[in-house]
Structure 1
Amino acid sequence: MPQQTTEIRAASFADLDTRTFHDLLKLRIDVFVVEQNCPYPELDGRDVEPSTRHLWLTDGDAPLAYLRILADPDGAARIGRVAVAPKARGGGQAGRLMTAALDLVGNRPCVLEAQSHLVGFYARHGFAVSGPEYVEDGIPHTPMHRQLIDV
């Protein structure tokens, strides 16, 4: 898949059309619920919050990678639901999307709950482990944070 044909898009829930939101949810469910065999409440109410930003990488038809940025009550940005379609894995798409997300987050503190096998990936984007590993839905996770960057 040539990288030049893909583009990164960002939108609030109010700016998403029905088909796009459907396709983003399908990618999330395909990866987290079906592939990882983790039945959990994927629709948690946070997608529709006015401050939530949905970011995805598309080849024009369907999303190849996705993440969302939430606003935590303490002002930190929370990155979550990072998913890459199987056909797009191994080509740096998650890294492109994470870079775009951190550009959007800017200098705010940022947190995430990494699947533990991805700690190294997030560390390359400036995140550090911030707590002990725990198991959620049968998958080891590690809390991570990115400190405020002085400009």
Structure 2
Amino acid sequence: MTWAMTEKGYSQRRACRLVGIDPHVHRYRSRRPDDAGLRTRLRELSGERRRFGYRRLHILLEREGWEVNWKKLYRIYREERLTVRRRGGRKRALGTRAPMAIPQGPNQRWSLDFVTDSLVWGRRFRVLCIIDDFNRECLGAVVDTSISGHRVARELDRIAELPRA
């Protein structure tokens, strides 16, 4: 636009018509105030409070005396590319898992499982099933309405001490 007007001597109207824009677009001057102070303070606050989003930063700025609309603050927040730092996700196992070794004899590996059911009148109960993985023998079934971790440990100790052929 400016090149066509200075080098070729075209009028502003003709240069705008050649480019295909309205002259008002070429003449437009932004009246938006300079928000340099607000931008720097917003960057400082977001650096200090990494887990705060624009809403909580808006509250902090209001407490400091900045009178700014939250929509304007959001626009500046986006223009500065400030985002809440994402927390790390669930830690996953690295590499491939080694397959579980197949037991070569009895009492090398046991499996525990809770089975839950309810009686006709609504009372619930759980059964702890303890199975030897080598011969698929049920070593014990502990029935209780509320099995605690201490009780499970006691039952496992009791079953481990039993003599088996």
Normalising to structure 1: TM-score of the pair? 0.22
Give the structure with the larger strand fraction: 1
Give the structure with the larger helix fraction: 2
Give the greater-gyration-radius structure (CA).
2
Normalising to structure 2: TM-score of the pair? 0.20
Higher RCO (C-alpha 8 Å, min separation 6): 1
